[in-house]
Amino acid sequence: MLWNKKEVLLQLNRFVSWLAVTAGFMASSLAAADFDQQRFPDEKEWRVIVSPYVWAASLKGNASLAGFDTDVEVPFSDTFDHLDLAFMGNVEVTNGTWGAFIDLQHVKTSQGEELQSQQLDLGITMNTVEGGIYYRAYEAALGGETVFGQPRRLSVEPLIGVRWSQLKGTVEALGRKVEKQSDWWDPFVGLRVNIDLSDRWNLFTEADIGGFDVGSKFTVNAQSYLGYRTMMLGQPTILRAGYRVLYQDYETNDFTGNHFRWNVTQHGPVVGLSMQF
């Protein structure tokens, strides 16, 4: 049975909206580096910091797919209705002056719709790998010590990095299955500030810009977290909660051969932890 234009447009709009949900669940670099290397008297010793996290992002903006435009306004709660698999984590190595980090994100979703008694299955898989380096350019003592035995301090760290994004889309209907993918690179530069508010409490803030027409036309990222120092599994750990905002403006030819644009702001709370080894 043939689908009319109105029904096709409805399904494409649903597909684009679900693409927005998937991307919104993706990226959030939890910035493990604000751990401050507390517990080690030798600040030049290299350490590893592991940070699993979850970003509960809502999305607002507009997108174009397959020649159709749609508004994007998706609450985070919609994500769980179709989520198959998700993984988010950050790993960093640092000696207190220089550091490098890598952030990995994988989200897989699926959605089924019925159209004129025919089943339409939509699937989205999105992978993001972000890596970069930073340098502690400024540091000031704040007096006293943290519970990990290191002086309280304020530090300022410029950073530079690159983000790779890959999107895979699958549509299955009327016994046919079509699978396409697209990927792009976004360089970025930024600054992060770490402040020890007390012996246990810590405030970390980061902002960066990127894209520069290399991949996206422009991106802006801002995030801030309040952290609490404790011990977990015998390791110094910071439990954290905060908020993140990410704006992206990317456009290209999509996997249908038509114009694709992603002009969306993602925003929402972040929870996670940073454990030092």
115-118 long-range contacts, CB within 8 A, separation 24+: 115/3, 115/7, 115/11, 115/173, 116/1, 116/3, 116/7, 117/1, 118/1, 118/173, 118/174
In this prediction, residue 109 carries a pLDDT of 74
Q: Exposed, middle or buried: residue 210 (CB in 10 Å: 0-12, 13-18, 19+)?
A: buried
Taking the model in full, what pTM does it have? 0.77
Strand-pairing partners, residue 218, are: 249
Domain 5-276 listed as CATH 2.40.128? yes
Ranges of each domain in the chain: 5-276
Please tell me the predicted confidence (pLDDT) of residue 113.
66
Q: Which residues contact 95 (CB under 8 A, 6 or more apart)?
A: 37, 43, 44, 45, 46, 47
> What is the per-residue pLDDT across 143-166, written as a single tens digit (0 to 9) for each?
999 999 989 999 999 999 998 888
What pLDDT is attached to residue 40? 39
Element holding 14 (H helix, E strand): helix 5-24
Give the pLDDT confidence score for residue 126 in this predicted structure: 77
- What per-residue confidence (pLDDT) applies to 6? 53
DSSP codes of every residue in 166-208:
EEEEEEEETTEEEEEEEEEEEEEEEEEEEEE-SSSEEEEEEEE
- CB count in 10 Å sphere of residue 73: 13
Residue labelled with tokens 């980090």 = 101
pLDDT at 124: 74
Interior CA angle at 212 toward 133 and 103, to 5°? 35
Which residues in the chain land under pLDDT 70? 1-43, 65-68, 79-80, 82-83, 113-116, 254-257
